[in-house]
Every structure is written in structure tokens, then in C-alpha cells.
Amino acid sequence: MPDSSKLETIPEEDLYYFNIGEHTRIHRYLGAHNLGSGVRFAVWAPNAMEVAVVGSFNDWNIHAHAMERRGGTGVWERIIPGLDHGIFYKFAVRRADGTWSFKTDPFARFIQNEQDRTPMLIEDYYEFKHPKPGDRDKFSRPLNIFEVHPLSWRFRDGRPLSYIELIDELVPYVKYMEYTHVELMGIMEHPYVPSWGYQVIGFYAPTSRMGTPAEFKQLVDAFHKEGIGVIMDTVLVHFPKDDTGLAGYDGDHLFECPIPERKVTAWNTFYFDFGRSEVRSFLISNLFYWIEEYYIDGFRFDAAGHFHYYEFETDEKHRWFIQRYGNCHNPEGFRFMQTMNYAVKKEHPEVLLIAEDSTIASGVTKPVEDGGHGFDYKWDLGCTSHMMKYFRAPYTKRSDRYGDLTYPMLYHHTENFLLPLCHDEVVHMKRTMVNKTEDLSDFEKFANLRLMYLFQFGMPHKKLLFMGQEFGQMNEWNEEQPLPWDSLWDHKHKTMQWYVKRLNEVYRYIPAMHEGDNIENGFEWIECLDYRQNILAFIRFNRDYSQLMVYLLNFSRECFNDFRLGVPFRGKYHKVIDTDAREFGGNGHNWIADYYTEDVPAFHHSFSINTNLLPLHGQLFTSIELIR
């Protein structure tokens, strides 16, 4: 049976499903497609009076290649024989007022960003050589994500690395650091680098700043070769007011919400019109495009809370909206979100769907069939916020903020959570991770950072860390500058990088570090009330409770010799991580590795081990030989 997408004209059936919002692969038909004997151009512009294809092949003449309407579908189509890859093109749209505007193809696969954002029909075929990392168990497996903004990760000759150069630089680095996944920011084409890639004009185009679509596919394939999953940072809630993009595409509200008070986001961008069938087809097809043509393993949905909840530029607009409508719920967006997640999981259940949802909505990771939103994981921004409140507080105020470390465990069972230490936490005067607590010496800051990361890895969440924080970047992230790689010549930074690598290894290969994230009683407090001395202790179990990890953390500057730590079982415990070890930049004062329990009660347990607890010091123990 021939591929219908290669037929000269678009089948009526596909236009029908596009119009009713149920087409999941409309990118195979709309846009520009090389048919071999010529190129088929198709665009959705129902309010346009005329549409023409203009480009390098006709001197951008609006009268040379007029397009024809496909009945009442709103789609315009034109086949131009003899054209091939390598042409530049746009759609010339005549609006109701008689004016013409040149618009970028919403389905363009390559956009010359620095050349008036002009699409180019380019050969994007690439035969993948390596399968996706295979593991259908999304919840008990380790999930440790390295968040990267490729345009600022590393420079060469004053420019960001290309996709091909990232194969040689970024892929081996992520593998060396033992991350399971990489999350790539700013991949979809965007006109403004300081937007971090969150104001998209090319939803189907990898940014041309680093190379071609085929080269980006090679990068994804290279990650897969090393067993590393690729998660794409995506934003399907809103788009910028850029004239060459989706805004006012055919002279009227097309992709954007038509209701004035529901149209503009808090970022002064436009909300998508989730109630419009064709927009739903456009957005859902976008996910299938990246999954099936780029082998993307998952998506992190930026501002996912906006799918179901409106936010506004000012408090005044928010209050007015509440007074008029009674709440800020977005019912069309909620239904779209459920439809989107259900469609992806039905055909690609292996793909990770991660929501950055800062609202207090429940059911974010509950299946759509049960009335939930349908995501796999929710960023626990509440836990991140409480952590940052604790670590940003002056050291002398830590006892007052002790509850910020324990509070998130009151609700951790309500969703499948991922705990992010992300890009948002190292910008806008929030200080980098190593500088969160200002009134500490340099040595103490790095000890404090090692303790922070050990606490993060102890929480029953999946993990994420933003680039540069693995070696203790001192200055806040600048999206237009490379990371300060020269700092790795400094012993403090190099040993911090080694510490994070070692922590990632332990997390990845010891089941009790990750298997119990989503099971009942997979986490148990030993000590969570000692706010005066700022000590925490807790236990993590693996799935069948046959193995446990014991965390002991001292967030104070005090030293506690002969500290007795209660444990649930008699036997031998081996210290896996000591944040004060010399190899991690510490003093190495507590070098004992193996501990045997004594029948001395401590912290509501009948058995205990005895250890020295140093200032700003954390220890991680694993059970070796237990007597139950």
C-alpha cells in the first residue's frame, strides 16, 4: 500500500481528521514535502483571502505560485513540479484588509534563524543505528537527569558547539558522569536566545544555530549508543507574538485564543486556542513527530500548569478574571492535556511525560482513565522551594527553617515526583548552588553543597541537576556565555565534580537508592525533629525491602563525636558515601568504612551504630549482612 503522505494531493480523510482534532501525524501532509517530482506545499489559513508560495525559486513573487483552497477545510495547497531540496520559501498570506504578509511555515523542519527566519526545504533523513534505551518500568528504575542548555554548555572559537561537536564533547561527558538521561533545553527553533528556548517559532524545527535536523538526529543516536535517554524541553502552552511565527497567522485569531482576557500569558505571549480542533492536531502531532522522527525518549513540559490554569501579567488582571469567571480554570486546556497524554501513551507507552506544574492541582500523575492529567512525573517544585528556603537562609537561621527539609515528606505519596535543582534556581539573583548559603567560608560552601546533593538523592524522588552545578559553578548561569570550565583546575571544583559522579554511580547501581521511590513505606524517618542541632536521618528501602540505605546528615557546624545512630536491624553496615572524604574535597577525618550494630537502643530502634559526625557532614550507609 503506498504511503498516502507521498500522494500528490492530501487525502480528504486526513484533512477531515485534522479538522476534527484527531490527526496525530498531520506533519506528514501540511508544510513542504518533496514528492520526488516536485514539492507539495500546504498550509492551514482559513481566514486568508489568498495564499501563495514564495521563495528563492520565484524571486519571492506573490503572483507566481498561487495556492488553491481545499474546500471548506481551511487548507491551501500547491504542487510545484521540478523543485527539490535546498530551496528557501515562505507563505504569502493576503488578509481580509488586502495586505500581504510573509509567514513562516508552521511545519517547517529547518529555519534559517539569522536570515529573517526563513524556512529551507532540506533533506532530513537519517537512519538510526541504535535503539532507544529499553526499560518499560518507569517508576522503579533509576532516573537521573542532566539538564543542559546546549547553546551555552561549551563554546569553540567563540560560538556554541554544533550538534556534531556535541557528539564528541557532551555525550561522553554525560556518560562519564553516570547520568541516565539528558534533558536538552532550547532545541525547538526560537528567535531569542535569552528566552532559553521557551518562545518557539519553529515547533517542528531543531534550532539551526547548531546544525541541521539530520545532525541533531545523529546526536540523539549517539546518546542512545551509550544507553542515555534524551528528554526534550518543550512548551506547548504558548507562543510569542513574533510576526513571522504563528501570531495572527492569517490575519485573525488562528492558533491563539480568541477571547481577549484569555489570550495573553504572564510572559506577554499568546495562549494556544486549545478549544480549536486544528490546533489540537497541530500540537499532538508535534509530539509524535519528535518521538517517531527523532527517537526522543521523553518530554519535560514547561509551564504545564497553564494547560489547566490561567495566569496573568498583573495581579489586577488576575483579580478581574476571578471576579468575572469565579476561578482561573482552563477547561479546554485541561481536556487537551488529557487527550495529548492519552494519545502518546496509547501508542508510545515507553515515552516519559514530565510536567513542570507549579499549581496545587491533584492527579497530575494519575492516569487519564482515572480522571488524572496523565503525566508520568511531576516536578516537585514545592520540595525544591523548601530546600532553597533552607539553604538560602543565613546559617544562623537554619534552626528556624528546619521544617522546610521535612515538610515535603507529608505529601510525597500523592504523586510520582521528580526533584529538580534546575536552571531556574541559578538565575535572577538566586545564587548558584554552591553559593546558596552566603555566610560560610569557601571550604564550608563546598561541604554544604555536598550535603545538599546527598539530601536530594535521599528523597524518594527522581533526580535532576542543571549543568555547571555538578562542579560548583560560582557565578549565575548566563545563557549567552559558556560554563566556566577553567574552574576545574581548582581542586574544590574538580573534587565536587568527582563527588557528583560518585553519587550518580551509587544512585544508579544500588537498588535501594531508587526502587522504593513510589512504594508504600519505601522511606522511613529515623530523626526529623532535631531542629536545634540540625540533624536529619532516614532510611530508604528497595522494592522488596531486602536492602536498605541509611542517611545521616549534619547541617550544623557542630561536631558530634560518638554519635549513636539507630537502625532497624542487627548486622553490618558499609559506608558508601562520606561527604568529608578527601577524594571529595573534605578533610577525611572519618575514614572508617564498616560498622557493626550494638544492642543499644537509639532513635526508637533497638540497635545502633556509633560514628563521628563532623560539621556540615553527611554519611550514607548500606546494609551488608543483616540479621532479621
The DSSP element (H or E) to which 218 belongs, if any, is helix 213-225
User: Grid coordinates in use for 627?
Assistant: 540479621
Separation of alpha carbons 339 and 358, rounded Å: 21
Helix, strand counts (H, E) of the chain: 12, 31
Report the C-alpha gap between 55 and 58 in whole angstroms: 6
- Contact between 433 and 390 (Cβ < 8 Å): no
In a domain, 502, yes or no: no
Q: Catalytic pick from 233, 356, 357, 404?
A: 356
157 belongs to the catalytic site:
no
Instruction: Indicate whether 478 belongs to any domain.
Output: no
Q: How many CB atoms lie within 10 A of CB 156?
A: 11
pLDDT of residue 390: 97
Last residue of a domain, one of 119, 144, 165: 119
Domain boundary among 97, 119, 141: 119
If one counts the domains in the chain, the total is 2
pTM score above 0.85: yes
174 falls within a domain: no
Q: How far apart are CA 81 and CA 99, in angstroms?
A: 28
- If you count them, how many residues does the chain have? 628
**Alpha carbons 190 and 207: distance in angstroms, whole number:** 7
* pLDDT of 600: 95
Of 119, 138, 153, the position where a domain reaches its end is 119
168 by DSSP, 3-state: which?
A: helix
pLDDT at position 115 is 65
Averaged confidence pLDDT in the chain? 94
For position 105, which CATH number holds?
2.60.40.10
Angle between helices 277-294 and 12-19 (to 10 degrees): 110
Q: Where are the alpha helices (DSSP H) in 8-162?
A: 12-19, 150-153
How far is Cα 185 from Cα 97, in angstroms, rounded to an integer? 39
Output the pLDDT for position 1: 40
- Which one is catalytic: 77, 189, 278, 302? 302
Residue range(s) defining the domain that contains residue 563? 520-627
Query: With a cut of 50, which residues of the chain have pLDDT below it?
Result: 1-2
- Taking a C-beta distance cutoff of 8 angstroms, is the pair 584, 513 a contact? no
Could you tell me if residue 357 is inside a domain?
no
CB atoms within 10 A of CB 610: 16
Q: Which helix (H) or strand (E) holds 567?
A: strand 560-567
- Which burial class, exposed, middle or buried, applies to 533 when counting CB atoms under 10 A from its CB (0-12, 13-18, 19+)? middle
Q: Is residue 579 part of a domain?
A: yes
What is the structure's pLDDT at 5? 55
312 belongs to a structural domain: no
Please give the share of the chain, as a percent, with pLDDT higher than 70. 98
d(CA 304, CA 511): 31
**Is residue 616 in a domain?**
yes
Cell numbers at residue 549, please?
Answer: 540505605
Active site residue 356: yes
Nearest to 55 by CA among 80, 18, 21, 22: 80
Question: In this structure, is residue 75 part of a structural domain?
Answer: yes
The CATH number assigned to the domain holding 551 equals 2.60.40.1180
